[in-house]
Each structure stands twice: as structure tokens, then as C-alpha cells.
């Protein structure tokens, strides 16, 4: 004798599953927009002075995890000096004079003052540029509206 069994068939399940699949659709584009806008802010703020070369800004990248609902988005640079630029130099962390000569000439400062500038930075430190902090702040500001747009798109699939 066969074991007792109940079979249940949900009529319209295919249509329901298709609609539920559409829920994921707006999430990835929203996530990508937010990360890209944060990246653009970091790029803009990585070059705070007209004399800056923009070399750091050109190294800023972004990545969004794979899948329809990404778990992570990153804005980053692999440039070793980026942390010093982001956070500023601490007192005692004097820059090399040859770097200061190049920096001074790009900023309209006589390169003869490079040694004195390096000593001053070594003594007092330097101000942070905060390009990644500004990107994070911008992402935090725009995220609620971007999530609201995605919610509206999701709700629209059920009308």
C-alpha cells in the first residue's frame, strides 16, 4: 500500500513567480547608480586644487558585487599614497623634498621653498583632503531617494 500523500497545485504560480522575479530588477541598477555617483564625488574631490595633476583621481575605481541584489559596492584606489592624501600627514611624517619641489612648482610656489615646506609639514602635519569621506557622505545623502525610486519601481510591477 502506498504511503499517504497530498498533492497541491497552486494555480497561477508561474505568473506569480514571474512578478516576484521582477522585484530584483530595480535593485542592481539603483546600487550601481549610487556607487557611480559616490565614485564621481571621490574623483572630483581628489583634485582639490587646479595645480593638482589629477593622477590620484584617475586611479579611483568602483566595483559592485555580482548578482541581481548586490551585497557590496566598493569605491577604492590602489595608490599607496592615497591614505596620506585622504587622512593628511601626521606630525613627524615629513614628505620627500623632491616630491615637495614638484608639488610647489605645480602650485605656483618657488621650488626653493620645498625644503622649508617639507619641514613645516613634518613638524605640523598636513590637512586631510577627505575625498573618500566626501564620497561616503554623498552616498549616505543620496541613498534614501535612490531606495525610494527602487521601491516605486517594485510597487509598479504589482499594478
- Clarify whether residues 42 and 30 are in a common domain: yes
- Clarify whether residues 145 and 73 are in a common domain: yes
- Clarify whether residues 101 and 137 are in a common domain: no
- Clarify whether residues 69 and 135 are in a common domain: yes
User: How many domains, the chain?
Assistant: 2
- Clarify whether residues 100 and 146 are in a common domain: no
In sequence order, what are the residues at sequence separation of 6 or more whose Cβ sits closer than 8 angstroms to the Cβ of residue 103? 95, 114, 117
Residue 35 is inside which H or E element, if any? helix 27-45
Q: pLDDT tens digits for the chain (159 residues)? A: 445 554 455 567 677 667 666 677 788 888 899 999 999 999 999 988 877 889 999 999 999 888 877 878 899 999 988 999 999 999 999 999 999 999 899 889 998 999 999 999 999 999 999 999 999 999 999 999 998 998 888 888 777
Instruction: Tell me the pTM.
Output: 0.79
Q: Coil, strand or helix: which one is 61? A: strand
Task: Kindly state the DSSP code that residue 100 receives in the 8-state scheme.
Answer: H
What is the extent of the structural domain holding 117? 89-126
- Clarify whether residues 53 and 116 are in a common domain: no
Amino acid at each position: 500500500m502506498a504511503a499517504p500523500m497530498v498533492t497541491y497545485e497552486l494555480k497561477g504560480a508561474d505568473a506569480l513567480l514571474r512578478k516576484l522575479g521582477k522585484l530584483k530588477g530595480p535593485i542592481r541598477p539603483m546600487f550601481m547608480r549610487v556607487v557611480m555617483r559616490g565614485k564621481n564625488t571621490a574623483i572630483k574631490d581628489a583634485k582639490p586644487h587646479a595645480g593638482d595633476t589629477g593622477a590620484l583621481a584617475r586611479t579611483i575605481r568602483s566595483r559592485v558585487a555580482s548578482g541581481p541584489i548586490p551585497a557590496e559596492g566598493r569605491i577604492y584606489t590602489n595608490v599607496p599614497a592615497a591614505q596620506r592624501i585622504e587622512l593628511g600627514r601626521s606630525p613627524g611624517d615629513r614628505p620627500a623634498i623632491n616630491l615637495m619641489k614638484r608639488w610647489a612648482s605645480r602650485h605656483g610656489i618657488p621650488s626653493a621653498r620645498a625644503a622649508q615646506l617639507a619641514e613645516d609639514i613634518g613638524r605640523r602635519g598636513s590637512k586631510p583632503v577627505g575625498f573618500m569621506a566626501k564620497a561616503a557622505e554623498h552616498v549616505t545623502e543620496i541613498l534614501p531617494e535612490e531606495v525610494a525610486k527602487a521601491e516605486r519601481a517594485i510597487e509598479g510591477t504589482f499594478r
